[in-house]
Amino acid sequence: MADEENIQGEFSKKRKSKTGFYYSFLTVVLLLCLIQIGFGAILNISKTIAYHAKISTLTKIRDAAEAHNQDLKEDIKQFSSTSSLEGIARNNLKMAGEDEVLVLINQPQNTVQKNKKKKKSKKKHAGNS
């Protein structure tokens, strides 16, 4: 009987040590899983914050572009009127009306270049003062 109790005692000790090992192993695995879940949650939260910042930046850029487009549309409407087209043709393109005479006075290239140099030197001297 004593031998049977000894054998059963050793068997139960081995069984307890095996279950203890399994429980320890499962505890370590669960801790690793919790750590992985924690890191994943932190990364997802940081990405969400970064994406919200990008969305707000893009929204501001889109609103600015829409406002700029609206201004350009208004400019197109203003330039499409005949009086503004006539002013552009007269000033920039050097054109004249039907009953008008356009006189252009051309300066020789040497005097034009000298005038440009004088203007540049005056700007430099004015900037230094």
In the chain, helix, strand, coil percent, each to 5?
A: 85, 0, 15
For residue 44, the SS3 value is helix
Q: Hey, CA dihedral for 116, 117, 119, 123, is it positive or negative?
A: positive
Tell the residue number behind the tokens 């039907």, with chain if given: 98
The 10 Å Cβ neighbour count of residue 89 is 13
Task: State pTM to two decimals.
Answer: 0.44
Angle between helices 82-91 and 2-79 (to 10 degrees): 80
Please give the C-alpha separations between residue 1 and each of 5, 6, 8, in angstroms, as whole numbers.
6, 8, 10
**Local confidence pLDDT in tens for the 129 residues of the chain:** 455 556 666 666 677 777 888 899 999 999 999 999 999 999 999 999 999 999 999 999 999 999 999 999 988 887 766 666 777 777 777 777 777 777 777 777 766 566 666 666 655 555 544
Domain borders along the chain are 2-80
| Residue partners of 90: CB distance under 8 A and separation at least 6 | 96
The vertex-73 CA angle with 69 and 78, nearest 5°, equals 145
Please give the C-alpha separations between residue 21 and each of 28, 33, 59, in angstroms, as whole numbers.
11, 18, 57
